[in-house]
Chains A and B, each alone.
Chain A
Amino acid sequence: MAQKEIEVILMRQLASYLAMPVILVDAEGNLAYYNEPAEALLGRRFDEVGEMPKEVWSTAFGQSEEDGSRIPPESVPLMVALHEHQPVHRILRITGLDGVSRRIEVTAFPLEGQGGRHLGAVSIFWGVEKQ
């Protein structure tokens, strides 16, 4: 595989030090990394799942509206930030690989590099409330 862009490498390094959950996707929308606080939310250690194609992770972690209706993969905050190059903030529910549904508040933002390079997107989560 090709080497990641330096901004993506540095973003992963920063995320690994942060105490809030962070998920990072690359320019194609593939899951590149999530940190330890996110592991608690997503129900499995990143070391166990590793990098995942977007078709896999976007359905593996079920995301739904607060009323339970499913959010299509292309409309989850990370994908909107990635494809529309703008930040997104919303409240939703996510079901981790442990089968637990949690109510979370999400901010997703695109990673834009100099020279007009679209590098990926990042989500941070907080206000985690277990059902």
Chain B
Amino acid sequence: MKITLWGTRGSLASAGPETVRYGGNTSCVEVRGNDGTILVLDAGTGIRRLGTAIEPEVARVDILLTHLHMDHLQGLGFFDPLHRPDLEVHIWGPPSTTLDLRARLARYLSPPLFPVLLRELPSHPVLHDVPPRRFEVGGFKISADLVCHPGPTVGYRISEGPVSMTYLPDHEPALGVWKFPLDPEWTSGFALAAGADLLIHDAQFTDAEYLTHVGWGHSSIQQATEFATGTGVKRLIPFHHDPSHGDEMLDRLLKGARKSSALPFELLPGTEGTTFRL
């Protein structure tokens, strides 16, 4: 399994000299299987550059959306493969309690927000409401589950043979929990992350910032490390960086997280353009 980070920023694309190392594009992660299967996790602005890296001989791409907030969706219309009529594109995402994924996506891919209608895309993507159970795409076994974040939001656990990675870009497992992390049974996202080889997890805030953003659906980097410790993952990538956090601040936050305690996992920087192999 090869994992490439095409966008690691949260909330708003944040290009500029202060974000040039960690990157300014919003959430998008490519997961390639050993059999060539391509999964795209979220369609933030990072998906545009990923689109240019999809080889012409690729016949199918599956886009897995965690939720439909703009920072996870804004790049979708600029994903070149969607304009290839020969390509099979599947888009998976959570329905709301009253609308299916097609109706929810069409709210963005339609005027006045976007000039091209969803049904006009040359690839004619096949839409799937994410099933609340395991499903398979190519050689990947995928589990999706609702997690703590405003509106219908899922996290994904993707397994290929003996290795697995978990993607929880927008996640607030500490919400309302007086003693975090609580026991596994009562912790949002626990089953998705337990024992994963790699966890990509929301780390938008500092602890001080979290106190004024409780309920916004995000975590501090400290909470992310506690969640990673509790779930027993092998590697953690802090993700969904706050737009106001420049490179130097992210360096300090990572350094602080490494120093705060002996971490039982490897802490890897969430840097746009980085590739990992599991």
Contacts and interface: CB of A to CB of B under 8 A. Distances in A.
Nearest to B97: A114
Interface residues of A, number: 18
Interface string B93-118: 00111000000000000000000000
* Dominant secondary structure of chain B at its interface with chain A: loop
B190 A16 contact: no
A4 B146 contact: no
A130 interface: no
A2 to B, nearest CB: 7
A7 interface: yes
A79 B79 CA distance: 50
A14 interface: yes
Contacts of A14: 176
Contacts of A7: 146
A3 B147 contact: no
A13 B175 contact: yes
Contacts of B152: 114
B132 interface: yes
Contact of B188 (A2, A9, A114): A9
A1 B129 CA distance: 27
A114 B131 CA distance: 10
A3 B178 CA distance: 18
Nearest to A10: B148
Nearest to A8: B186
B148 A9 contact: yes
A2 B185 contact: yes
B147 A13 contact: no
Interface in B63-106: 95-97
A113 to B, nearest CB: 8
Interface string A1-44: 11111110110111011000000000000000000000000000
Nearest to A6: B146
Contacts of A5: 146
Nearest to B194: A3
B97 A4 contact: no
A114 B95 contact: yes
Contact of B185 (A1, A6, A10, A17): A1
A3 B185 contact: yes
B148 A2 contact: no
A91 to B, nearest CB: 31
A37 B175 CA distance: 21
A13 B145 contact: no
A68 interface: no
B177 interface: yes
Contact of B177 (A3, A13, A114, A117): A13
Contacts of A113: 146
Interface of B: 95-97, 129, 131-132, 145-148, 152, 175-178, 184-188, 190-191
Interface of A: 1-7, 9-10, 12-14, 16-17, 113-115, 117
